[in-house]
Amino acid sequence: MKITANNPNRKSWLKITPNSDFPIQNIPFGVFLTRDDIITIGTRIGDYAIDLGALHQLGYFDGIPLTDDIFLQDTLNDFIADGRKTWRLVRNRIADIFDVTNGQLRDSAEHKDKIIFRMEEVEMLLPVSVGDYTDFYASKEHATNVGSLFRDPENALLPNWLHIPIGYHGRSSSIVPSGTPIRRPIGQTKPAEGTNTPGFGPSKALDFELEMAFITTVANDLGDRIPIEEAEDSIFGLVLFNDWSARDIQAWEYVPLGPFLGKNFASTISPWIVTLDALEPFRVNNPKQEPKPLPYLQQAGKHSFDINLQMAIMPEDKEETVVCNSNFKYMYWTMAQQLAHHTVNGCPIESGDMMGSGTISGPTKDSFGSMLELTWRGQNPLKLNDGGERKFIDDNDTIIMRGYAKNDEIRIGFGECIGKILPATEFKK
Ligand code: MN
């Protein structure tokens, strides 16, 4: 089925500012609370939130097999479980409804009043109920940098790294939508030189991780695996993902079982899921993989995506400073390879599962996706536009992540993924 929603020449009758992240070619999916205190599933065009529940009730999706309440829910999980054919039909229909040549909704003030909200009138919520969250470690530059910093620069990349898309199971309970404030975590840290007792208190090395995450549909039964050629059919879309990390807690706890409390206190996502369909025009060649991976991970064609990613720090009441410019295409392991590997042992993937890419660092120093790497563990503090310096994130700093894809014809983006760090809660012991 053709993705007619992606037609780069299409224009909308809704007013859209140039360079908006949400032209009519994007049509992402999200969940929001309306001014009438109703939770609904919606999409966004320009600075307008579109209530898909209302559109459906008024008959605009006639002819598409959808249950009556599919959009009157507080998560997208059931809609995502309907599968790619349905996502495509709905996205194509939305594009038609808002096409400049279509007067059906445009000329009905009564319907528009029920369906269209200004973005400032709605509150964005988590788009899915995340059943399981897996975080990969798929950027070669990031794994090399972290290996050098935490272990040994001579053997930075462990011997399994070039053969396995390394990952671990995270916590879905602490995934929050953009705008949610984040409390500085408290925890244990390595004993100081010459002592045997660990440190304890608010993290002194709070960091961001510039990642993207993809959201899956129900893909396989227990015991079955997803062949790599079919893996992308199970991917609904992507969000920006800031995987907050406490490096001092992480460094003390991670041996031998890996990430735990230094990682699972919070991860912030952008609230609109941009579909893999919408990102089709931005496919680029996969990174060269040497040595060649095992056959179940081999893949022909273009399965990387050119998505510009940016991280900025904004101190309280000050201007922001962009500290990192990276790109999703720097990932060594593709999303399809990650899914094929994740299920090679028969692990089932469900609708609404979230797969983090791992920190995406590029080849240059200004493209490193964490403060740990940007400051080389605090050795080279970052200079901010307001004259300040940062080794790691200070209390009351706001971290802003942005992402967009652009070619000669269109530009589509993810909006912002924002989190402000609040001081740790007081503690006695
Ligand atoms: Mn991570």
Domain with residue 57: its CATH number is: 2.30.30.230
CA–CA dist 338, 332 (Å, integer): 10
Final residue of a domain: which of 379, 395, 424?
379
Residue 415 lies in a domain: no
Task: Answer yes or no: do 13 and 74 share one domain.
Answer: yes
One digit per residue, pLDDT tens: the chain, 429 residues? 899 999 999 999 999 999 999 999 999 999 999 988 999 999 999 999 999 999 999 999 999 999 999 999 999 999 999 999 999 999 999 999 999 999 999 999 999 999 999 999 999 999 999 999 999 999 999 999 999 998 889 999 999 999 999 999 999 999 999 999 999 999 999 999 999 999 999 999 999 999 999 999 999 999 999 999 999 999 999 999 999 999 999 999 999 999 999 999 999 999 999 999 999 999 999 999 999 999 999 999 999 999 999 999 999 999 999 999 999 999 999 999 999 999 999 999 999 999 999 999 999 999 999 999 999 999 999 999 999 999 999 999 999 999 999 999 999 999 999 999 999 998 777
142 catalytic, yes or no?
A: yes
Say how many Å lie between the CA of residue 378 and the centre of ligand 1: 19
Q: Same domain, yes or no, for 9 and 106?
A: yes
Within a domain: residue 386?
no
Question: Does residue 108 sit in the same domain as residue 150?
Answer: no
Q: What secondary structure, in 3-state letters, does the chain show?
A: CCCHHHCCCCCECCCCCCCCCCCCCCCCEEEEECCCCCEEEEEEECCEEEEHHHHHHCCCCCCCCCCCCCCCCCCCHHHHHCCHHHHHHHHHHHHHHCECCCHHHHCCHHHHHHHEEEHHHCEEECCCCCCCEEEECCCHHHHHHHHHHHCCHHHCCCCCCCCCCCEEECCCCCEEECCCCEECCEEEECCCCCCCCCEEEECCCEECCEEEEEEECCCCCCCCCCCHHHHHHHEEEEEEEECCEEHHHHHHHCCCCCCCCCCCCCEEECCCEEECCCCHHHEECCCCCCCCCCHHHCCCCCCEECCEEEEEEECCCCCCEEEEEEEHHHCCCCHHHHHHHHCCCCCCCCCCCEEECCCCCCCCHHHCCCHHHHCCCCCCCEECCCCCEECCCCCCCEEEEEEEEECCCCEEEEEEEEEEEECCCCCCC
Is residue 353 situated within a structural domain? yes
- Distance (angstroms) between ligand 1 centre and the Cα of 25 equals 30
Q: Are residues 79 and 152 in the same domain?
A: no
> Do 156 and 203 fall within a single domain?
yes
Nearest to 249 by CA among 235, 266, 263, 238: 263
In this prediction, residue 36 carries a pLDDT of 87
pLDDT at residue 115, as a whole number: 97
Residue 428: inside a domain: no
Q: Please give the tally of structural domains in the chain.
A: 2
- What's the 212 CA to ligand 1 centre distance in angstroms? 10
Boundary (domain end) residue, out of 379, 396, 420 = 379
Residues 356 and 288 in one domain: yes
The CA 382 to ligand 1 mean position distance, Å, reads 21
Q: Does the residue 13 lie in any domain?
A: yes
Q: Which domain holds residue 173?
A: 133-300+326-379
Residue 236 sits in the same domain as residue 172: yes
Last residue of a domain, one of 108, 125, 142: 125
Query: Rounded to the nearest whole angstrom, what is the distance from the C-alpha of residue 243 to the centroid of ligand 1?
Result: 5
Q: Are 235 and 361 within one domain? A: yes
Residue 172 maps to which CATH number? 3.90.850.10
Same domain for 85 and 114, yes or no, is yes
Q: Is residue 235 part of a domain?
A: yes
Mark whether 121 and 137 lie in a shared domain: no
Distance 149 CA to ligand 1 centre (A): 16
Residues 255 and 357 in one domain: yes
Active-site entry in 56, 111, 142, 169:
142
CA distance 409 to 41: 29
Q: Is residue 396 part of a domain?
A: no
In a domain, 282, yes or no: yes
Q: Are 418 and 398 in contact (CB under 8 A)?
A: yes
**Same structural domain, 85 and 189:** no
